[in-house]
Structure 1
Amino acid sequence: MVTRLSSDAGNVADGIVTVIPTIFRLIIELVATFFTLFYYEPRLAIFALSIAPIVAVVCFLLGRKLKVLQVKVQETESAYRSFMQESLSNLLVVKAFANEQYSTDKLVELRDERFYWVLKKSKMGIISSTIMSISFQLGYIAAFAFGAIQLSRKVITYGTMSVFLTLVNRIQAPVMSLAQYVPKVVNILASAGRIIEIQDIPMEEKLENHIEAENIGININNLTFGYTEEEVLEGANIQIRPGEFVAIVGESGIGKTTLVRLIMSFMSEVGGCIEFNNSLGQVEKANAGTRNFISYVPQGNTLFSGTIRENVRMGRLDCTEEEIVEALTMASGYEFVSELPNGLDTVIGESGHGISEGQAQRIAIARALVRKAPFLILDEATSSLDEKTELSVLQGIQNISPRPTCLLITHRRSVLKYCDREICIYEKKIFEQLI
């Protein structure tokens, strides 16, 4: 995706700004020169231009091959960039398993594969340019021979022949230049095709909210979904009433996070129905727009590089300083933030580099709380916190007024005493457990 939005987009932009205007200029130059030569000697003008169809056929055949090679170049660049980015993002994992040499060798392998396709494309470009050059040279020699014959027959003068050869060269020059632009045009078309593939991805269904964003609950009826042909959830049903704290406790891989992603409308092709409702009895089908009702703390470290203030403000960009402090306090994070040298303006690296996992998790929770949404989803959001801090965070959330509806995914049964209900996923169905 990054390669398409940077390298491919750059190819298209360069084509629009440079290549296409140059091609138009060359076409105008070719037409003007042809008619000038045609005025003096129609047969020579037609002969000089007769090479153009041959060139066009050769360009078409070579262009198809070059387009395939250009796509290969971009695909190998994508693989190279992707592996490099993932290796840097997960550098601690690479070091932990002593896989530095493997990662280096893999990167070299991907680089060599990319160089292979770049070299192959370059060779094809050189071959095509050579063929074009030889063709034009032969054309010029033929024009010279034709002019010499006409001169020997005293049909034309030396001056006329000089003009003819000059005009023939002026006709061939733009045609040859156009031929040399074929690889660039091919690059543009190949890159444009890769960008269009992104544009062809269906847009999310995002509807304008029609219900009051207060005291939000959710109804899930006959929910069926699978990443492959095998279903993760099949005919699942659950109702979460406004203001309830509901916990999902269970082993990994049973569909807990999948359920959250479906509620968030991160995935389409869903069977069944997911609807949000409020205490007024209003109902709205889940879509990208209903995320406005939701605050979400995902699994893992999901912080951005920048200041702690900027990370918390991602929850609501127009929040005030007081609201940031309040959210951090409820997340049991303000104490450690205030002790940092620059407080809220302390700069952290990508994925929270520079602070601990527990501290990063508390900032992520504060980011969700500052949103003040009526529906809160915590997906293993307190896994890096000690039990005392975890319970303090949950108590803070329960004390929010009006109390949000909260869906907790956790492995710790100690949090159940703060929940109204416990549900579990078993054999692709959702069941309620007694607490």
Structure 2
Amino acid sequence: MDADTSQPEARPARRGFFRRSTAIEGEAKPARTLGPLTMIFREAANYPGRVALALVALFVTAAATLAIPNGFKLIIDRGFAGGADDIGRWFQYLLVIVGVLAIGTALRFYFVSWLGERVVADIRLKVQNNLLRLAPGFYEENSPKEIASRMTADTALIEQVVGTTISVALRNLLMAAGGTAYLFWLAPQLTVGLMIGIPVVILPIVFFGRRIRNVSRSSQDRIADVGAMIAEVLAAMKIVQAFNQERREGERFAAAVERTFATAKRRILLRAVMTATIILVVFGAITLVMWRGAIAVTSGEISGGTIAAFVITGILVAGAFGALTEVYGELLRGAGAASRLEELLEEQPAIAPPARPLALPEPPRGSLSFRGVSFRYPTRLETPALKEFTLEVEPGETVALVGPSGAGKSTVFQLAERFFDPQAGTIRLDGVPLTSADPAEIRKRIALVPQDGVLFSANARDNLRYGAWDASDEDIWEAARAANAERFLRELPEGLDTYLGESGTRLSGGQQQRLAIARALLRDAPILLLDEATSALDAESERLVQQALDRLMTERTTLVIAHRLATVRAADRIVVMDEGRIVEQGTHAQLTEAGGLYSRLAALQFAPSEAA
């Protein structure tokens, strides 16, 4: 019988963070305010010493930068007036300032970068720990790809914000404030004129900056399209060549590349115009200030050193104000990323231990009881997956679940492991209601062999001891022997230390399934949930897997979604399901003679000689 597909594919969530999030997959949209950044500040506050050192370095570098114009002022006004010795003394003073600036910048970079990496690491750990608490149903309602994007792209944005953007913002804020005060001290009249001219400099930066950002985003989208097209075509190269579509795919790719180039041309043109405009405005303003200052120098109103310091400081202040406008946009993007991650942190598990969980009896018996259970998946509330389902499974009994696709067989497994709670009825393990027990303790008493033998991107040892992490090599080999996996494991290049590839792709389907059985053997749980997976295997692999399953089921309570007649015949009881209900129960012989749904399914799916 086919695997149960009653569980629907994930649809747009009715609850959860997607309902609140407006961000497209893989990209955090800018927030409207900087409020979400408080999450970052809370994490950074856990390291007050590092924050203090970073702030001290920041103040020192800003002060040293602003001291450079004053150094030139002293060289011009006092050094040139006093001769070579005085010039040397004031240049030495300038060198000291440069040395302080260099050391302070290095320290600022180190402490700020350290904080950025540490804060991101802490946020990732907290988000991952919370994700591990959430029930599997959450990941069926919400896209794991989107969650992965938040854990990578969004944390990278936060790392940039903490490690660069906030530092740049504070430094430019200090430079702008301190530089403006210094300008007023140097030449109040010239400073008033400069303040009027600063908006003239900032406006083109803001005007062109927004358009360049939009075009750059479009350019990145076009580049992403090209990358996606390459991945898609290369992954399906056999199909492309089998249907002689090389030329069409080449033309389609060329069109995508040309669209990317057209977008890039717009970006280049805008940057060229912005550069020319800014150079004209900035250097024009400097020329005008110097012109006015030169007249003031000739009239004796100010000194030559003053005008030199004024021009240098004016450039620094204008640059600081311009940088602040750019940094603000980056901070908003960082706030958007922080808000998306905070949604994950705030998500509460739908399945959680009760305040005072009941202890499961010792030693475990291995009984399962479903009484009047009704259940609807959160993503498809209009269609019941189970309706008034009642089933008593005695310790050591093997019960086979059969029925057409969508009958609710896999739903029984998911409810037994308390991945979901039913809307009505009770499920008991060894007499204790699942909702009254700790989910972790429930799952310790259950071993699962999934239909597709899920493996991880790790070596064979770690995949096997996933069922019991403290298992010794002797235990692992014993389980592998019982699962008919010992031979091929010993033939691997590095034995148990051999890396099995992404999701175990270096093994055949039969080998993956036998590893999954060995993993369940190591679990040594009293209850076995077996989504039998021999239907897609060749005859030899099927024989080896079936032998391993027979050993695994010995002296265990077993619920098995049956695909093969051998498993059905070996079961103590066959439960026939249809549309979430039990329609028949009995042995193979009894149900075949009854002429009901089981008899029809057997006639359709089993070989005629076997079904007779």
The normalised TM-score by structure 1 is: 0.76
Q: Whole-Å Cα distance in 1 between the matches of residues 454 and 475 of structure 2?
A: 21
Q: Whole-Å Cα distance in 2 between the matches of residues 369 and 250 of structure 1?
A: 27
Q: Whole-Å Cα distance in 2 between the matches of residues 395 and 430 of structure 1?
A: 26
Deviations 1:76-108 (Å, cap 9, x if unpaired)?
8888888888888xx6x8747948968977995
What is residue 126 of structure 1 aligned with on the other side? Answer: 271
1:129–1:180 Cα contact (<8 Å) kept: no
1:224–1:272 Cα contact (<8 Å) kept: no
Q: Whole-Å Cα distance in 1 between the matches of residues 265 and 313 of structure 2?
A: 36
Query: Does residue 1:219 correspond to 2:370, yes or no?
Result: yes
What is residue 205 of structure 1 aligned with on the other side? Answer: 351
Q: How does 1:12-51 map onto structure 2 within 5 Å? A: 12-50=158-196
1:425–1:431 Cα contact (<8 Å) kept: yes
What is residue 462 of structure 2 aligned with on the other side? Answer: 310
Aligned match for 1:251, one of 404, 422, 428? 404
The CA deviation at 1:424 is 3.3
Q: Is the alpha carbon distance of 1:429 and 1:145 closer, same or farther for their aligned partners in structure 2, counting shifts above 3 Å?
A: farther
Q: Whole-Å Cα distance in 2 between the matches of residues 266 and 118 of structure 1?
A: 48
Q: In structure 2, what residue type is equivalent to 1:362?
A: R
What is residue 310 of structure 2 aligned with on the other side? Answer: 164
Q: In structure 1, what residue type is equivalent to 2:465?
A: R
1:296–1:377 Cα contact (<8 Å) kept: yes
Higher-Rg member (1/2): 2
Q: Is the alpha carbon distance of 1:225 and 1:183 closer, same or farther for their aligned partners in structure 2, counting shifts above 3 Å?
A: closer
1:79–1:110 Cα contact (<8 Å) kept: no
29-38 or 110-119, which moves further after superposition? 110-119
Q: Whole-Å Cα distance in 1 between the matches of residues 228 and 157 of structure 2?
A: 19
What is residue 334 of structure 2 aligned with on the other side? Answer: 188
Q: Is the alpha carbon distance of 1:63 and 1:428 closer, same or farther for their aligned partners in structure 2, counting shifts above 3 Å?
A: farther
Q: CA RMSD in A?
A: 4.5
Q: In structure 2, what residue type is equivalent to 1:297?
A: V
Q: Whose strand fraction is larger, Structure 1's or Structure 2's?
A: 1
Q: Whole-Å Cα distance in 2 between the matches of residues 106 and 226 of structure 1?
A: 44
The CA deviation at 1:396 is 1.0
Q: Is the alpha carbon distance of 1:53 and 1:33 closer, same or farther for their aligned partners in structure 2, counting shifts above 3 Å?
A: same
The CA deviation at 1:360 is 1.4
The CA deviation at 1:359 is 1.6
Q: Is the alpha carbon distance of 1:235 and 1:345 closer, same or farther for their aligned partners in structure 2, counting shifts above 3 Å?
A: same
The CA deviation at 1:34 is 1.4
2:201–2:318 Cα contact (<8 Å) kept: no
Q: Whole-Å Cα distance in 1 between the matches of residues 527 and 269 of structure 2?
A: 58
Q: Whole-Å Cα distance in 1 between the matches of residues 474 and 341 of structure 2?
A: 43
Q: Whole-Å Cα distance in 2 between the matches of residues 273 and 71 of structure 1?
A: 52
Q: How does 1:230-245 map onto structure 2 within 5 Å? A: 230-243=382-395, 244-245=397-398
Aligned match for 2:448, one of 296, 309, 313? 296
Q: Is the alpha carbon distance of 1:212 and 1:78 closer, same or farther for their aligned partners in structure 2, counting shifts above 3 Å?
A: farther
Which structure 1 segments of 5+ residues have no match? none
Query: Does residue 1:284 correspond to 2:434, yes or no?
Result: yes
The CA deviation at 1:312 is 0.7
Q: Whose helix fraction is larger, Structure 1's or Structure 2's?
A: 2
Q: Identity over aligned residues, as a percent?
A: 27
How many residues align structurally?
A: 426
- The 3-state SS of whatever aligns with 2:523 is coil
Q: Is the alpha carbon distance of 1:161 and 1:27 closer, same or farther for their aligned partners in structure 2, counting shifts above 3 Å?
A: same
Aligned match for 1:413, one of 559, 562, 565? 565
Deviations 1:124-148 (Å, cap 9, x if unpaired)?
9838964666654565456446546
2:528–2:558 Cα contact (<8 Å) kept: yes
65-74 or 366-375, which moves further after superposition? 65-74
